[in-house]
């Protein structure tokens, strides 16, 4: 592949957050050049907390009223449940956006549909269709930005290594009943939707990510006979649209060329 992702390695979280903020500003400008919205999907895990940095929260350039936020994946639990990614996003990020100005539009899952995971996924897909125009006329929704985590097993959103969902080609949002990471019932954006986004940012910090980062960036499954991890599939499918925001601990021992600033 000629078009490679960018792998940024920063000495500490504040530096990572400053660079992530600058990247988000670029993504917001690119979005406003296309339409008057900034359509973003955010995963759970460590991303919401890392987003809530002073630069972003106090920025005069961020136009919160034009942000439309979706969950990149969600667990099939009530919106106030301790396992809810929406509850996490609200507690760690949304609640810290200044109350004085315009607020982003946020799309949580429909709590009425929790009984059937497929219904839940279909209802969330309908919310996407409403935002991105009818599915008939738009083959895939094009998010302006995805802000994603990377699990220690190489999963992203609720797409897990070796899972059949990685082969989904039609749905924008899929249901999963057997997530190896609890809770088992979830919904997730699918791989075609993820790789179709204009920009995709991964955040991975800490020594606990070293091994998986080496597998994602330095292993060649064709020659080494291994499976391609979901995060590596995003790198392969989206190439230079992908940027990884890491700390030095996460990329220690990774041979792939690293950059130290945007
Ligand atoms: O619902 C989920 O389980 C999360 O969305 C999940 O996909 C998360 O993003 C990764 O597990 C990375 O988590 P960390 O950023 O905490 O490592």
Domain membership of residue 228 (yes or no) is: yes
Ligand 1 centroid distance, CA of 149 (Å): 5
CA-CA-CA-CA torsion sign (189, 42, 78, 180): positive
Which CATH number covers residue 71?
A: 3.40.50.1360
ipTM confidence score: 0.96
Quote the DSSP letter at residue 202.
Answer: E
Enclosing domain of residue 238: 6-250
pLDDT digits (tens, 9 = 90+) for 79-135: 999 999 999 999 999 999 999 999 999 999 999 999 999 999 999 999 999 999 866
SS3 19: helix
Ligand 1 centroid distance, CA of 50 (Å): 13
162-184 as b/e, with b when 16 or more CB fall inside 10 Å?
ebebbebeebbbbbbeebeeeee
Domain membership of residue 256 (yes or no) is: no
**Gap between the Cα atoms of 251 and 148, Å rounded:** 17
Domain membership of residue 257 (yes or no) is: no
Domain count, the chain: 1
Ligand 1 centroid distance, CA of 150 (Å): 6
Q: What is the CA radius of gyration of the chain?
A: 17
Domain membership of residue 71 (yes or no) is: yes
Count CB neighbours of 193 within 10 A.
Answer: 25
Beta strand extents in the chain (DSSP E only): 6-10, 38-42, 67-71, 73-75, 105-107, 145-149, 173-176, 186-189, 200-204, 242-247
Domain membership of residue 192 (yes or no) is: yes
For atom 9 of ligand 1, the residue with the nearest CA is: 149
Mean pLDDT of the 219-228 span: 72
pLDDT at 17 (0 to 100): 97
Whether the CB-CB separation of 188 and 158 falls below 8 Å is answered with: yes
Which of 252, 243, 256, 246 has its CA nearest to residue 216? 256
Question: pTM score, two decimals?
Answer: 0.96
The CB of 49 under 6 Å from ligand 1? The reply is no
Domain membership of residue 147 (yes or no) is: yes
Tokens of 87: 């509850």
Domain membership of residue 110 (yes or no) is: yes
The CB of 151 under 6 Å from ligand 1? The reply is yes
Domain membership of residue 1 (yes or no) is: no
């Amino acid at each position: 592949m000629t078009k490679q992702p960018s792998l940024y390695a920063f000495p500490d979280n504040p530096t990572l957050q400053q660079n992530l903020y600058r990247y988000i500003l670029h993504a917001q400008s690119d979005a406003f050049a296309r339409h008057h919205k900034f359509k973003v999907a955010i995963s759970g895990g460590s991303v919401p907390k890392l987003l809530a940095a002073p630069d972003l929260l106090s920025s005069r350039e961020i136009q919160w009223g034009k942000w439309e936020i979706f969950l990149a994946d969600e667990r099939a639990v009530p919106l106030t449940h301790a396992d809810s990614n929406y509850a996490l996003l609200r507690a760690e990020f949304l609640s810290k956006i200044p109350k004085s100005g315009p607020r982003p539009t946020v799309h949580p899952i429909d709590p009425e549909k929790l009984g059937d995971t497929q219904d839940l996924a279909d209802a969330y897909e309908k919310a996407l269709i409403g935002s991105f125009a009818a599915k008939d006329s738009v083959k895939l929704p094009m998010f302006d930005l995805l802000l994603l985590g990377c699990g220690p097993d190489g999963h992203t959103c609720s797409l897990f290594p070796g899972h059949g969902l990685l082969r989904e080609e039609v749905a924008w949002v899929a249901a999963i009943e057997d997530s190896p990471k609890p809770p088992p019932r979830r919904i997730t954006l699918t791989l075609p939707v993820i790789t179709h986004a204009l920009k995709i940012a991964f955040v991975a910090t800490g020594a606990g990510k070293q091994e998986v980062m080496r597998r994602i960036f330095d292993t060649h499954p064709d020659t080494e006979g291994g499976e391609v991890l979901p995060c590596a599939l995003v790198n392969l499918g989206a190439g230079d649209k992908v940027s990884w925001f890491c700390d030095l601990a996460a990329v220690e021992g990774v041979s792939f060329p690293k950059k130290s600033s945007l």
